[in-house]
Amino acid sequence: MLTSYAGIVVVLIVGIVFPLILLVVSRILHHNHRHPTPVKLQTYECGLETQGDTWVQFKISYFMYALIFVAFDVETIFLYPWAIKFQSLGLFAIVEMFIFIAILLIGFWYAWKEGALEWM
The pLDDT, as a whole number, for residue 39 is 75
Q: Which domains does the chain have, with CATH numbers?
A: 2-113 (1.20.58)
CA distance 71 to 80: 15
Quick: pLDDT tens for 8-50: 999 999 999 999 999 999 888 887 667 777 777 776 666 666 6
Vertex 117: Cα angle to 111 and 120 (nearest 5): 135
What is the pTM for the complete model shown? 0.45
